[in-house]
Amino acid sequence: MNSFNLQNIVRKHILNLAPYSSARDEYTGKEGIFLDANENPIGSATPENWNRYPDPYQWQIKEKLAPLKGCRPTQIFLGNGSDEPIDLIIRLTCEPQHDNVIILPPTYGMYEVSASVNNVEIQKINLTSDYQINTEKVLSAINPKTKLIFICSPNNPTGNIIDRHAILKIINNFQQGIVVIDEAYNDFADEPSFIPELDNFPNVMVLQTFSKAWGLASLRLGMAFANEELIKLLNKIKYPYNINGLTQKSLLENIDNVNFVKESVKTLNQNRDSLKTALKELAIVEHIYPSDANFLLVRFSNAKQIFDYLIEQKTIVRDRSKVVLCDNSLRISIGTEQENNHLLSLLTNYSEKL
């Protein structure tokens, strides 16, 4: 039985709040003399004109994105990176110093940071030793104040897909809040997204991003997908023009370039497999975890020393050795073939000197 009711999950004052009404909310036409937003009618201090506020709801992008993702434009929220909807969903649902969220370490750090910034309690239920959800423990940690459960699949920093049945079990048994499924690395995996299933799961919000497979990290554009009612509420509490005009224009001009995404995923996945094969040969490498993402989590004999040595050589990887269940592990983003070969030659040199 589906007992989900968003009205009971959202903080009461937000339900009652009158959102800021921007000039572009009151008149959405393109033609006219615009004397409503205190813009500069002469133009811009740059060669290209940026003097008009952008579409606050980015409808042109959403119209093009919806068929790519198998959903309706109204089921999409765009944010300043997917970090924005992570923060917004916490602010929308969690009463500070009262409610709590569940996260599943080792996982992406921003769930904890955003919850802490909002003074929201965090319950940590570690993944199992093979980085899967301890479903029973998660379900028994849910209490009446639990509003959100964050699941990252493929998971950062471990790289693996989280078992779909386990995710479904959490979704089906958590109707008092929202399950946030972070699919930032889904483009690299063979796993279907949860987006096309959103109509069956009103208690799910899916996150994706343009920062990874699309190669647009600097544009800062993240996506959240959910039922229309939840998307409306996110729109209600976001900054009015959260996606700047330059980002909107740049994406709109290139959103048809899905071929780039396909090709770069293919190349990066091949590079990942070659890097993995080569790393396995090194004596300093103890274990390489299975990855469905554009990085590898590698356990070394002495991660910290290797990390420092690589930094000295101006080759930067991510030290995850202090993270729970990631002892002695470094997270290595997949580079170009040349970059990976460079890394391999540094590690080979290091290994041979021991």
Ligand X SMILES: Cc1ncc(COP(=O)(O)O)c(C=O)c1O
**Pairing label, strands 178-182, 204-209:** parallel
Binding-site size, ligand X (CB under 6 A): 12
Residue 334 binding ligand X, by CB under 6 A: no
Closest listed residue to residue 184, CA positions, set 259, 110, 74: 110
Structure tokens given for 261: 């995404």
Residue 83 binding ligand X, by CB under 6 A: yes
User: By CB under 6 A, which span of 76-84, 113-121, 283-291, 344-352 interacts with ligand X?
Assistant: 76-84
Structure tokens given for 320: 């995850």
Distance CA 182, CA 207 (A): 5
Comparing CB distances to ligand X, the nearer of 78 and 138 is: 78
Distance CA 318, CA 159 (A): 13
Of these, 58, 75, 82, 247, which contacts ligand X (CB under 6 A)? 82
Looking at residues 239 to 298 of the shown chain, list those that interact with ligand X (rule: CB under 6 A). Answer: none
Comparing CB distances to ligand X, the nearer of 111 and 300 is: 111
Residue 184 binding ligand X, by CB under 6 A: yes
Collect contacts of 244-247 with beta carbons under 8 A, ≥24 apart: 244/54, 245/50, 245/52, 245/53, 245/54, 246/50, 247/219, 247/220, 247/221
Min dist CB 348 to ligand X, Å, is 28
Burial of 99 (0-12, 13-18, 19+ CB in 10 A): buried
Residue whose CB is nearest to ligand X in the complex, by number: 81
- Show the site string, 91-130: x = touches ligand X by CB under 6 A, - = not: -----------------x----------------------
Min dist CB 336 to ligand X, Å, is 19
Contact (Cβ atoms closer than 8 angstroms) between residue 100 and residue 120: yes
DSSP state of 131: S
- Show the site string, 201-240: x = touches ligand X by CB under 6 A, - = not: --------x-x-----x----x------------------
Residue 81 binding ligand X, by CB under 6 A: yes
Instruction: Enumerate binding residues for ligand X (CB under 6 A).
Output: 81-83, 108, 152, 156, 182, 184, 209, 211, 217, 222
